[in-house]
Amino acid sequence: MKQGERVFLTLTKSEIEKIDVYVGKVEESIAGAIRIALKEMGMI
């Protein structure tokens, strides 16, 4: 089942490195980690 629409982002190397650290903390895929972060901020 398709969850929704795809979103494409262009990020700096520094931003990618920060996301990689967060991904390690939450033990999720990049998409899953971003989804968790957005939920924690109340954006979704």
Residue by residue, pLDDT tens for the chain (44 residues) are 677 888 999 999 999 999 999 999 999 999 999 999 999 999 99
Residue 22 covered by a domain: yes
The residue segments making up the domain with residue 34 are 10-44
Q: How far apart are CA 44 and CA 40, in angstroms?
A: 8
pLDDT of residue 3: 74
pLDDT of residue 4: 87
- CA-based nearest residue to 22, from 33, 6, 9, 11: 33
pTM: 0.72
Residue 5 covered by a domain: no
**Total number of domains in the chain:** 1
Q: How far apart are CA 21 and CA 26, in angstroms?
A: 9
29 and 35 Cβ atoms separated by less than 8 Å? no
Which residues, 6+ apart, have CB-to-CB distance to 37 below 8 Å?
A: 22
Residue 2 covered by a domain: no
